[in-house]
Amino acid sequence: MTGLKQMLHRGRSGDRGAYWFILPYVVFFCAFVAYPLIFSFILVFHRWNIVTPMEWIGLKNFDRLIGDVLFYRSLLNTLTFLVIHIPLQVVAALALALLLNTGVRGRGLFRALYFLPVVVSGVAVTILWQQIYSFDYGVLNNILHAAGLPPVPWLVDPRVAMPSIAIMATWKNVGIYIVLFLVGLQNIPSELYEAANLDGASAFKQFRYVTLPMLNPTIVVIVVLSTIGGFSLFIEPYVLTGGGPMQSTLSGMLYIYNQAFSFGHMGYAATLGFVYALVILGVVVLQRRVIESEMSS
């Protein structure tokens, strides 16, 4: 009995030690996740501009949201960005991963260079591309001028501004998706390619019937991550265009930010944030079901 009591005592002491180890995470979660989430939910039913006390208004924020045409415009702009950005991101990352997965000379250096924009500050990258897209002295328009072509108003024309931002975002994030594709490519069994060669399959058929099916799980992950990242679009339009021209690059996140910190409508911004989160969840779930159904067919 004495030995059993000693074992139980040591077990309880070990449990207490484990609690101390997870305490920093629990404190961090409560301070930076749970509390802001609960406080934001409370704000949904209040009017508050930070300076004056909160005022209970019930569901008036939702009534305002229903008639907010600009919020719907920001959602449409974000979806437009996703439609351009996601296919471009997947194709560019896969093409570069296929190239880097071969025996090309200096592939280690190229992998580091392609990943470098991921770790560089988003604001710094955006300012760089602001210079590239400049109408008067930008690199792209200088190239067009040298080729005898007219300059393009990359950030001034409402028809061109959002595709320009999508190209920049693809360049910024492609490195991390190259890594994911490289992991997927290196996990494909070489026996599959050997069997395809014995059957006389061409390089294209090997890619179509071996590489792509084996990369399907990776593609799903990349599409979902690109979707979530695309809905978080903020720095690029904030720095490059401020949401213009003619609100053509006003993203959902930028609109929420403006409502909260430019106009002081904290309660309404919280309402927009919760609705926006539900939209993201719905799009991701629908997107995943469509992709999985196409893979199974």
210 pLDDT higher than 50? yes
pLDDT at 213: 87
Q: Which residue has the higher pLDDT, 211 or 12?
A: 211
Q: How sure is the predictor about 21, in pLDDT bands with cuts at 50, 70 and 90?
A: confident
CA distance 96 to 192: 22
pLDDT, tens digit (0-9, with 9 covering 90-100), for 227-247: 989 999 999 999 999 998 999
Tens of pLDDT along 136-194? 888 999 999 999 999 999 999 999 999 999 999 999 999 999 999 998 988 888 888 88
| Cα atoms in the 13 Å half-sphere on the side-chain side of 11 | 6
Find residue 46's DSSP bridge partners: 56
Q: What pLDDT shows up at residue 203? A: 84
CB 61 within 8 A of CB 139: no
Task: Over range 66-92, report the average pLDDT.
Answer: 94
pLDDT value of residue 133 = 93
Between 65 and 294, the more confident residue is 65
Q: What percent of the chain has pLDDT over 70?
A: 91
- Asked if 162 contacts 81 with a C-beta cutoff of 8 angstroms, the reply is yes
- Residue 257 has a pLDDT of 95
What is the structure's pLDDT at 116?
A: 84
Give the integer Cα–Cα distance in Å for 207 and 104: 18
Position 18 pLDDT exceeds 80: no
Whether residue 12 has pLDDT greater than 70: no
> Mean of the pLDDT values across residues 194-215?
86
Average pLDDT over residues 29-57: 91
pLDDT at 100: 85
pLDDT digits (tens, 9 = 90+) for 277-287: 999 999 888 87
Sequence-ordered list of residues with C-beta below 8 angstroms from that of 130, at least 6 positions apart, any chain: 155, 239, 240
SS3 219: helix
pLDDT for the residue numbered 57? 93
* Superfamily holding 66-296: MetI-like (1.10.3720.10)
Q: pTM of this prediction?
A: 0.86
What is the residue extent of each domain of the chain? 2-43, 66-296
pLDDT of residue 50: 85
Q: What count of residues does the chain have?
A: 297
Q: CA-based Rg of the chain, rounded to a whole angstrom?
A: 25
User: Predicted confidence band at 296 (pLDDT cuts at 50, 70, 90)?
Assistant: low
Distance CA 179, CA 115 (A): 8
The DSSP bridge pattern shows strands 46-47 and 55-56 to be: antiparallel
Q: Show Cβ contacts of residue 155 under 8 Å, excluding neighbours closer than 6 positions.
A: 130, 133, 135, 161, 164, 240, 241, 245
- Mention every residue, 6+ apart, whose C-beta is less than 8 A from residue 271: 43, 44, 61, 62, 64, 65
102: region left, alpha or beta (phi > 0 left; psi from -120 to 50 alpha): beta
- Mean pLDDT (the chain) is 87
**pLDDT of res. 8:** 46
